[in-house]
Structure 1
Amino acid sequence: MSVIRVLGGAVLGLAASIAFADDPDQAIRATLTKLQPNMPIEAIAESPMTGLYQVHLKGGRLLYASADGQFLMQGNLYQFKGNDAVNLTRQAESKGVAKEINSIPTSEMVVFSPKEPAKAHITVFTDTDCGYCQKLHSEVPELNRRGIEVRYVAFPRQGLESHGYNTLVSVWCAKDRQAAMNQAKSRQELPAATCDNPVAKQYELGQMIGVNGTPAIVMGNGELIPGYQPAPELAKAALEAK
């Protein structure tokens, strides 16, 4: 269950039911455990704002809480520096996403690399049945020409019982994954293939970091861009984010 859904209806009535605790970590964990027993908490620490604590969840998501655990908030925390507003939440979440994405071995991806050493890379959560994923894939040669390595991970939008899931499994289990991806993105049926594969694991990871559609593009610094972007704009963003 996503954190957003959990917090959507539960927090308002929670304040009176959580006992005060002297230890902020303990108090905040008690609150979150009451909301969702298996909430994947990685760390709790003081935020840059005095009196507010930030809860790091597995996958990079961030929540905020009062020291006594009686108040929870999900949203963006900004810091104003002169005339600029810095989104501290986005910065912290991007670091968490980058950590998760960079932990995926490239051997578990379908990778399209430039002929010359790559200047930057993007990681794309993809579904072979997705029209905009197909459009983005048609521009992979242009991205490669601009020095961008494209790393695909699987995200079957319709779930693990869908046609897209079966096709993605066939891609990952093919002897030549690149050729199989090209074929699938050209709307050609692939020979069914099965093997030990990371498709379900990558789908779960996508959900955990906030992917809810495809293509979802993760920059080298963990910034998540939802939806298709033309190759020139995407290459520019990738180079700026490396």
Structure 2
Amino acid sequence: MRFTRTFAALTLGLASSVAMAADADQAIRKTLQAIQPDLPVEAIAESPMAGVYQVQLQGGRQLYASEDGQFLLQGYLFQVKDGKAVNLTEEAESLGVAKTIAAIPASEMVIFAGKESKTHISVFTDTDCGYCQKLHSEVPELNRLGVEVRYLAFPRQGLGSAAAKELANVWCAKDKQKAMDLAKTRQPVADAQCDSPVAKQYALGQMIGVTGTPAIVLANGKIIPGYQPAAQLAKIALESK
């Protein structure tokens, strides 16, 4: 009898918890819908901090909200473990970004791989970008150090820019690697037509927080904004695989 009563109490407690979570989900979604109807909410769940819910957006970015949806917070949530502050927000966002990037087919990237790749980086690039060109000149060294370079398109001046057209020519070329080499050394790339992924990748970059190029995404989803010398970048990439 005691076991039956205990089981019933646990069942009621679980049902109550599920109902509360569902109410919180609806309340938070209602608030977000009122603020920004097109906000790409992927999931809402309780955060490690009591009374605070974590809102995961498509692409990995995180928001936080109260259970009733009346309070919203955008920023970092830290948890102190063994005397050290762990950035839970950054960890969650990196996981989301890694998942998003991993879903992109290799055929939609321009990939430079060495003989022995130990890890990879995904680089949002613009052909009309000095530091992107400098990074590209060091791709052979990155490959030698075991880092595969996967390019994604991000025309900084928008989809109507000359760089966006050049990126489309690169992605539509029969030999994408050769076309990328030409573009990064300021040589003309032949016009080409295809259903290029430039617009889709540009939108993806904006969704995960890319604002400039090169934007380097490590295998674990962490984003490094800006150029890094090959030796330093390879060390970071290999440590994060």
User: When the two structures are superposed, what TM-score results if normalisation uses the length of structure 2?
Assistant: 0.90
Who is 2:111 aligned against?
A: 111
Structure 2 residue ranges without an equivalent (≥5)? 1-20
Code of the aligned partner of 1:178: Q
- CA distance in 1 between partners of 2:217 and 2:139 (Å): 15
Equivalent position SS for 2:213: coil
Structure 1 residue ranges without an equivalent (≥5)? 1-20
Who is 1:121 aligned against?
A: 120
Who is 2:148 aligned against?
A: 149
Who is 1:228 aligned against?
A: 227
Who is 1:158 aligned against?
A: 157
- CA distance in 1 between partners of 2:204 and 2:46 (Å): 26
- CA distance in 2 between partners of 1:77 and 1:133 (Å): 32
- CA distance in 2 between partners of 1:22 and 1:122 (Å): 38
Residue 202 (1) aligns with residue 201 (2): yes
In the comparison of the two structures, how many residue pairs are matched?
Answer: 221
Equivalent position SS for 2:141: helix
The CA deviation at 1:206 is 0.2
Decide which moves more: 79-88 or 165-174: 79-88
Code of the aligned partner of 1:154: A
The structure whose Rg is larger is: 2
Contact 1:113–1:150 (CA under 8 A) maintained in structure 2: yes
Residue 212 (1) aligns with residue 211 (2): yes
Residue 39 (1) aligns with residue 46 (2): no
Code of the aligned partner of 1:185: K
User: When the two structures are superposed, what TM-score results if normalisation uses the length of structure 1?
Assistant: 0.90
- CA distance in 2 between partners of 1:131 and 1:158 (Å): 14
Query: Percent identity over the alignment?
Result: 70
Moved over 3 A (4+): none
Contact 1:22–1:68 (CA under 8 A) maintained in structure 2: no
Decide which moves more: 21-30 or 32-41: 21-30
Summarize the Cα distance change of 1:22–1:96 in structure 2 as closer, same or farther, 3 Å threshold: closer
